Amino acid sequence: MLEYSLDKTFAALSDPARRAIVEQLTLGPASVSELARPLPMSLPAAMLHLKVLEDAGLVSSAKVGRVRTCTVNPAMLSQAEAWVADRRAMWERNLDRLGAFLDATADET
Amino acid sequence: MRSVVHASFTITRRWKASPVRVFAAFADQKKKDLWFGGGSDWTPVSRSFDFRVGGKENGSGRWKTGVVSHFDATYLDIVDDERIIYSYVMHLDDRKISVSQACIELTPDGEGTKFVLTEYGDFLDGYDDAGSREHGTSWLMDNLEKSLET
């Protein structure tokens, strides 16, 4: 379902390490160890992040011999999802500003 | 080419501010103008605000790209400090890109507020790249597009 998968997508992308992984994969397929190398974490920790990205449908992986190769999955962002992501992003930015406004005026009654 | 895509989404936030203060940020134009709109990339060109059931709100502004976006809403339901429902049409220049209904629910959450926005939209006539960039599509979308082109 669209809403469900979008929630997963946004949750998956809420982490900087996972965004770094997706960003690297948009440049081309990479092995798990290649993806983990620039990250300030252990290989098992990086693999957990990859699992979240795979569960959200953003990343696919396949094992060839001893190497697991990952690829980004652009198809999951269908037209509807692109629309919703766009509109949602607009709201998120507005609500960030609203939150900042509420904090800044917290002393006012 | 004519097309309609139907979609809905929900955004939940929790703020320390009371529902009264969150509601006021929607109900008072001076307050709303401080956060609603396109931010620093967006220059307002027209504005009207009539916050009551049946009242209308307009917010039009020019993006850095030169495209002008128009937000035109009609308030359908208002319960002070609890709920706001409005329908709205978005245009980019003279293209009508969506017709939506937004429902904002405010619930006390300790001293603060749980904010839930649910939007149901009919997105019209295909996804438009210019419109997407207009709203500052994230690096992800841009990179995904690039990866599709290569």
CA distance A65 to chain B (A): 26
B8 vs A3, A74, A94: nearest CB: A3
Strands of A30-31's sheet in order across: A30-31, A67-72, A59-64
What sign results for the dihedral spanned by CA atoms A84, A78, A76, B142? negative
Residue B129 confidence (pLDDT) above 60: no
Who wins on pLDDT, A5 or B149? A5
The mean per-residue pLDDT over the stretch A65-86 comes to: 74
Q: B7 and A79: CB-CB below 8 Å?
A: no
- Strand-pairing partners, residue A61, are A70
CA distance A90 to chain B (A): 6
What is the model's pLDDT at position A56?
Answer: 83
Q: Which residues of A touch B148 (CB under 8 A)?
A: 74
| A12-62 pLDDT, tens digit each | 878 889 888 987 887 788 999 999 998 988 999 999 999 999 988 888 898
Q: B39 and A93: CB-CB below 8 Å?
A: yes
| B58-112 pLDDT, tens digit each | 999 998 888 898 999 999 999 999 999 999 999 989 889 899 999 999 999 999 9
Closest chain A CA to residue B33 = A98
Q: Which pTM was predicted?
A: 0.64
A83 vs B7, B13, B31: nearest CB: B7
- List strand residue ranges (DSSP E) for B93-142, in order: 95-109, 112-124
CA distance A50 to chain B (A): 16
- Strand-pairing partners, residue B48, are B58
Q: Which residues of B touch A86 (CB under 8 A)?
A: 131-132, 135, 137, 141
CA distance B149 to chain A (A): 11
Neighbours of A26 (CB within 10 A): 19
All residues at 6 or more sequence positions from B141 whose CB lies less than 8 Å from its CB, including other chains: A77, A82, A85, A86, B132
Asked casually if ipTM beats, i.e. exceeds, 0.85, the reply is no
Residue B140 confidence (pLDDT) above 50: no
What is the model's pLDDT at position B125?
Answer: 76
What is the model's pLDDT at position A76?
Answer: 57
| B29-46 pLDDT, tens digit each | 999 998 887 777 789 999
What is the model's pLDDT at position B149?
Answer: 45
Chain A residues contacting B, CB < 8 Å? Answer: 2-3, 6, 13, 19, 22-23, 26-27, 72, 74, 77, 79-95, 97-103, 105-106
Q: Which residues of A touch B123 (CB under 8 A)?
A: 80, 83, 87
Q: Is B12 on the interface with A (CB under 8 A)?
A: no
What is the model's pLDDT at position A80?
Answer: 59
